[in-house]
Structure 1
Amino acid sequence: MADRDPNLITSGLSRIVTREGRSVRVEIYRLENRPGWALEVVNDKGTSTVWDELFDSDDAAEAAFRETLAEEGMAAFLDSAKVIPFRR
């Protein structure tokens, strides 16, 4: 019997946040068989910002999002001129 892929557990703290006329999707999730919660923020253009570290709880991940939002505003999650698209 083949091993199955683990389920993705999504936190109830995941949501859409709108500030400064812009909306982002806050995704907080973990694998069912692993500790540590991931934090990902997706802007309205589909660009994803993912934190490198995992958090001990979904509350800690959500607090990191709130802290970034308070310090940098929505600009922290907008597309940047530093992004260079690859040719396809």
Structure 2
Amino acid sequence: MTYLLIYLVVINILGYSLMMIDKKRAIKHQYRISERTLWITAILFGALGLFIGMKNFRHKTKHALFKYGLPILSVLELGIVLYVLNV
């Protein structure tokens, strides 16, 4: 259980950081982080971190797949985690 919680914290910090880095690169017209990488991170239980990063940095908010997909995936992942932890 401890390893699961550590993993969840790390993957969500990574997701948040990826959204921040991609936003900064977008502003500077630099090489960007692919949407594929962002979605892989989300699917690996980093959706909440990406969603919070999306809101904080106002990044990818006009993309319907991110706007609606990340919150839905976050809720699903939260449900899975609560089920696994028997909460």
The structure whose residues are more often helix, as a share, is: 2
Whether TM-score is above 0.5 comes out as no
**Which of structures 1 and 2 has the larger relative contact order (alpha carbons within 8 angstroms, sep 6+)?**
2
TM-score range (shorter-chain normalised) is under 0.3
Relative to its length, the structure with more strand (as a share) is 1
Could you state the TM-score of these two structures normalised by the residue count of structure 2? 0.23
